[in-house]
């Protein structure tokens, strides 16, 4: 059973972004699953690192996309991305303390999945709306 699952409500209308979000859902789901297994700290820390790396990669891609689209709220959006990256880094440090990794993993999976869902539905959807409006305006004026 998948605990953190992407579905159509999270689509922002651009495949490359949706695919990145699907991958983030899948990494967060892997973190949740660690709860059920008797895993070593190394394995947990490896998935936290994967989450951090992929989040950094995705945010930079998304920010470049917004810049290309001349999205006016890019600065604010970037600040929210940075806050989340800082949050993952602080959990990562906590997870490095001996015996803490699995507890931190569950906490991070929980907080991270809530953050991601809300971020997509509220914040990412704003650039979808902006681009949609720009396209409609361009179609009307051409």
Of 77 and 104, CB closest to Fe ion: 77
Shortest Cβ distance from residue 126 to Fe ion (Å)?
Answer: 9
d(CA 121, CA 118): 5
Q: Is 20 in the site for Fe ion (CB under 5 A)?
A: no
Q: Which residue is nearest to Fe ion (CB)?
A: 124
Binding to Fe ion in span 108-127, by CB under 5 A: 124
Per-residue DSSP letter, 38: -
Min dist CB 35 to Fe ion, Å, is: 27
Q: How far is CA 126 from the centre of its chain?
A: 16
Q: For residues 24 and 124, which CB has a smaller minimum distance to Fe ion in the complex?
A: 124
* Tokens encoding 50: 């994967």
Cα separation of the two ends of the chain: 49
**Which one, 37 or 83, has the nearer CB to Fe ion?**
83
Which residue, 31 or 124, has its beta carbon nearer to Fe ion? 124
Sign of the dihedral defined by the CA atoms of residues 132, 134, 138, 141, in that order: positive
CB of 138 to Fe ion, least distance (A): 24
Contact 18, 55 (CB under 8 A): no
Considering the complex, what minimum distance in angstroms separates the CB of residue 59 from Fe ion? 7
List the alpha helices (DSSP H) in the chain.
Answer: 15-33, 41-68, 74-95, 101-118, 125-141
Number of residues interacting with Fe ion: please give it, by CB under 5 A.
1
Binding residues vs Fe ion (CB under 5 A): 124
């Amino acid at each position: 059973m998948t605990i953190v699952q992407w579905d159509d409500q999270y689509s922002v209308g651009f495949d490359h972004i949706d695919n990145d979000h699907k991958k983030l859902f899948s990494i967060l789901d892997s973190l949740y699953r660690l709860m059920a297994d008797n895993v070593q700290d190394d394995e947990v820390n490896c998935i936290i690192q994967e989450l951090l790396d992929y989040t950094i990669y995705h945010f930079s891609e998304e920010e470049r996309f917004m810049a290309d689209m001349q999205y006016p709220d890019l600065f604010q959006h970037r600040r929210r991305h940075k806050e989340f990256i800082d949050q993952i880094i602080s959990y990562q440090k906590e997870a490095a303390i001996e015996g803490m990794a699995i507890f931190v993993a569950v906490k991070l999976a929980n907080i991270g999945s809530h953050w991601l869902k809300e971020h997509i539905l509220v914040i990412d959807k704003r650039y979808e709306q902006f681009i949609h409006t720009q396209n409609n305006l361009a179609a009307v004026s051409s």
